[in-house]
Structure 1
Amino acid sequence: EDRDESKGELPVSVWRTIFVANEWVKLQESRTISTELNLIFVLFLLEGVDVIHQAALVPHGGEPGDEVPYHKVLRFALAAGLLLATSLAQWLFMWGFWQRYYRDRVWQFVDLLAVTNISCLLLEERYYGFYLHGRSVHDHADNDMAQLNKHLEKESEGTTARRGFTPDSHIQTYEVHLARKVRDK
C-alpha cells in the first residue's frame, strides 16, 4: 500500500513500488546456506584431507598403495554427515554473526519500506502472515537525493517521530491472523 499523495499536478510515481517489488524478489532468492560452498568444502574434506578412507571396509588397513574397497553405506553416511555438519556450521555462522552484526537483509527490506512509504501484507498461509509497516516519518517519499539525505539525517539525529505503527513505537513488523471475511475481500 503506497501512502504518498501527489505533490501537485503530477501523480504519485509507481517507481518506488516497482523498486520495492524488485527488492522483495531479490530477498526471496537469498539463502542462508550456500550449497556450492558446502559441496566444495565436503569434497575437500573427503578427498583433500582423505577422510573418505574412514569408509573403507578395513580402515587404515593394508599396505600403502593397496586398493581397499569402500563400504557403500558407510561412504554414504560419512558424506551425508559431513554435509549436514558443514550446513549446520554455515547456518550457525550466518545466524550468530553475519545477520546480527554485518548485514540482515530482512531488516534492510523493512527499512526500505519505511523510506519508500510502502507497507506490505505477506501471507505465508491462507489466513496467516506478516504485516510490514512502512510508514515514512517525513512528508513525502518521492524526493530527490538531497531531500532524501536531509530526511535520513534528521531521522538519525532523532528529531523526527519513530517509524512504528504509533508515533511513540518503533515496532514495524507484525504477525497477523486474518478472519475469513477479511481474506475473501
Structure 2
Amino acid sequence: MKKINQTRYAILGILTTGCRTGYQIKQMIDNSLNHFWKISYGQIYPTLKQLVEEGLATVEDSVQEGKPDKKEYFLTEKGEEELRRWLQFPLEDIPVNKNEVLLKLFFGRHQANHTTMEFLINYQEILQKRYETYEGIESTIRMHSLDSADAQYWLFTLDYGKRITAAEIGWCKDTITKLE
C-alpha cells in the first residue's frame, strides 16, 4: 500500500487557519506544528504547487507596494473534502520517536555513570524549557485566540505535549536518582 504523504494534509489543514502565504504557513509550522510534526521549509512550496495542480488549492498573486508580488493560497472545496476524508481515515500506525538520550542510556553500561547523568540532566533542562514554551503558547492562545474555532483543538494538542513533557521530566528525575 502506498504511504500517505502526511505533509500535504498538514498544509491543507493550515490553509483552513487563514494562513495564505508560504511565509505564513512556515510561521504556523514553526510556532505550533513543529512541536509535534516536522515539516521543512523546502517541503512547503513543492507541496503547495502540487495541491494547486490537483485542484485542492488555488493560488492568487497579491500586489504589494514596493515589494514583489506575493502568492496567496486558498483551499478549494475539493481540498476541504480531501482534508475531511483524510481526517476520517484510521491511523496508519503509532509513531515511534527517535530519542538519542534513550539510545545512549540503553548502552549506558559502556560509559561512566556521571556521563550518563550529565546527559539526563541536560535532557531534563531541555525538557523544562520546552514545557515553559508550551505554557507560553497556551497563554498566547488563551489571550488572543480563544474566539478561534480551532483554539480548543490547539489546546488539546498542547495539553498532550505538556503532559508528555511533564512525564519525561519526572522520568529524568527518577532515573537520575536511581543512578546516584
| TMscore range, shorter length | under 0.3
TM-score normalised over the length of structure 1: 0.24
TM value normalised by structure 2: 0.24
Q: Name the one with the larger helix percent.
A: 2
- Between structure 1 and structure 2, the one with the greater Rg is 1
